[in-house]
Amino acid sequence: MKLLRNILDNLKPDFEKGGKFPWLHSTFDAFETFAFVPKTTTKNGAHFRDALDMKRTMTMVIVALIPALLFGTYNIGYQHFLSLDPKIGFFDEIWNNLWYGILKVLPIIIVSYVVGLSIEFGFAQWRGHEVNEGFLVTGMLIPLVMPPDVPLWQVAMATAFSVVIGKEVFGGTGMNFLNPALLARAFLFFAFPSSMSGDNVWIAEKADAFSGATPLAEMMAGASIPTHSFMEMLLGVMPGSIGETSAIAILLGAILLLFTGIGSWRIMLSVFVGGAVMGLTFNLFGSNPYTQIPFYYHYVMGGFMFGAVFMATDPVTASQTNRGKWIYGFLIGVMAVLIRVVNPAYPEGMMLSILLLNVFAPLIDYYVVDSNIKKRIKRWKMKGGENV
């Protein structure tokens, strides 16, 4: 630690004004504050201080993503070998599974980080800002919502699109109104449907004879119940995007997020409540098999769990007020199940429902604040206060 500090201190003058590389100041600053909590404090105005700054918060989210990432990596290998030999057991080929998964996932992660960070650094340098830390998490979320076989140039394109159009044009981290990772996925979903949907993309290099349909796709095709059991889907032993399959691994991350207070429990809970309400409504009134599955199946199929824990709770794009968070989360759950069951074109509704509610979040906040103001005016008048 001391050594690193000394190296940074020695290098620092070169990057200040008048040094050798003043134009690289933002880049240097980014690495220095990544390694050490900056000592400077805000001088004026009232601020709530917290021991966690932005970079430390983001690191915590990355830690929360690790279980899903590890399980996803292993599962890719397992699904691949399972498609070649349907009799293989989950623990039969541990190292082969892991190694194969790493070979698939690592390039996607590297491409996502390299492309995204170089754009972030470029923009920060160009504007003379500090480098924003938001991409640390986005760069990890993007690979986790991709299918294992996605071409790398498409990952690069989607990352560039989401960082530039989704974030930088609005002013960088904290200014975006759409979740950048989901925007990257939505971009690929509409731009290159053949590598983002269908039955052939969810298992890496699968054998042709093996059905690679996800539980969502099976339900869509009219099955009365997915071929994977509830337990398998809960554990995540099924084809799907890299990080989304295992509800258990995601819940481990959720516990960390809730324990550290980084993720909002109101949003997570209300997403699940919303999904349950819509699922039960379909059970009552639905006519086809898809509407009749128990509501908790929706939690473990596809990206519902991943979206509820890691996407919907994104503090920038979610509602800010507490009552707004309840409404926001509830509607995400409702819309996700609604799109899944009713819309014939998209098997997965979580991505679209979160993006939709991202757009509505400021409106929800506006009315929550507005109704609070009205209520307080009314109370003021009841106490005999003057007209405002």
Partner 1 sequence: MAGINFKLIKNPLSKENPITVQVLGICSALAVTAKLQPAFVMALSVIVVVVFSNLIISLIRNTIPPRIRIIVQLVIVSLLVILVDQILKAFVYDVSKQLSVFVGLIITNCIVMGRLEAFAMNNKPFDSLLDGIGNGIGYAVILVTLGIIRELFGSGTLWGYNVIPQSFYDMGYQDNSLMIMPPMALILVGIIIWIQRARNKDLCEK
Report the interface residues with partner 1, using CB under 8 A: 151, 153-154, 165, 169, 187, 190-195
Type of residue numbered 260: T
Smallest gap, in angstroms, from Cβ of residue 151 to partner 1?
A: 6
CB of 194 to partner 1, least distance (A): 7
- Cα–Cα dist 31/183, whole Å: 27
Residues 6+ apart with CB under 8 A from 179: 311, 314, 317, 354, 355, 358
Collect all residues with Cβ–Cβ distance below 8 Å to 314 and sequence separation of at least 6.
Answer: 179
- Nearest distance, CB of residue 188 and partner 1, angstroms: 9
Looking up tokens 């099976």 gives: 218
Q: Given the complex with partner 1, which of 66 and 164 has the nearer CB atom?
A: 164
Least distance CB 352 / partner 1 (angstroms): 13
Cβ proximity to partner 1: between 95 and 153 the closer is 153
Rounded to a whole number of angstroms, the minimum distance from the CB of residue 166 to partner 1 is 10
CA distance 238 to 203: 9
CA nearest 306: which of 212, 240, 227, 207? 240
Which one, 136 or 146, has the nearer CB to partner 1?
146
Nearer to partner 1 by C-beta: 120 or 133?
Answer: 120
Return d(Cα 250, Cα 181) in angstroms, integer: 17
CB of 168 or CB of 218, closer to partner 1: 168
Nearer to partner 1 by Cβ, of 174 and 193: the residue is 193
- Alpha-carbon torsion (313, 319, 320, 324), positive or negative: negative
Rounded least distance, CB 351 to partner 1, Å? 15
